[in-house]
Structure 1
Amino acid sequence: MDKLLHEMVDWALSFLLSLVPPALGAIVSLFYEPGLTWSGRAARLWVGVTISYFVGRALGAVADLHPYVLQAIAFLLGLVAYRAAPAFAAGVVKAVGEAPAMLRDRLIGFLPTKKDPK
């Protein structure tokens, strides 16, 4: 059991550490975007991290690059990822902005209503 727990902690730690370069790149890119709302910033950060993480992993699987080079590529991808996919970023920002109202409407739909007597 201890070995399994140790392996799970190692996996989780390596996963979180692999997200650092893309996240830093995405955070740096947010400094160059004035006038964003907090939901827009969060959505752009998510887009930058997600795209750079998966593209960086795919590039690492295809090409035999040094880990430092892969981290630099992930940082750069995080820096420009939301610019490369503006429609995707706009859709995510819209979905994040509309999610609270949509969730509220769905929850209200589950509440019982009074029946009108005829």
Structure 2
Amino acid sequence: MPKIYKICPAPAWREAERQGVYRGSADDLRDGFIHFSTAAQVPETARKHFFGQTALFLVEVEADTLGDRLRWEPSRNDELFPHLYGELDLVAVTAVHQMHARPDGTHDIFGLVP
């Protein structure tokens, strides 16, 4: 099954764990869907949107479990990105990895499954 990924600040993810559902970031709520990335897209997403941030998690999700609420739509560089229209039920989450910030503002990203 294909995996998709969400970069999430630790406090927001801890709140999702308490609630059993992730409702999305402020950007997600503004756009009307939860932004995800493929394994190949994660490094650029991290650089573009999370550069210099600490206390981040990389949340791994089974794409096939999301049904027709998951749509692949053109975004950055006209690449297709996975967008979830609705909340993320945490039963779809297969792993949560810490993202370690480097001194230069980039991140070590472990656990990606292409």
Please tell me the TM-score bracket, short chain as reference.
under 0.3
Structure number with the higher strand fraction is: 2
> Which protein is bigger by CA-based radius of gyration?
1
Structure number with the higher helix fraction is: 1
TM-score with structure 2 length normalisation? 0.22
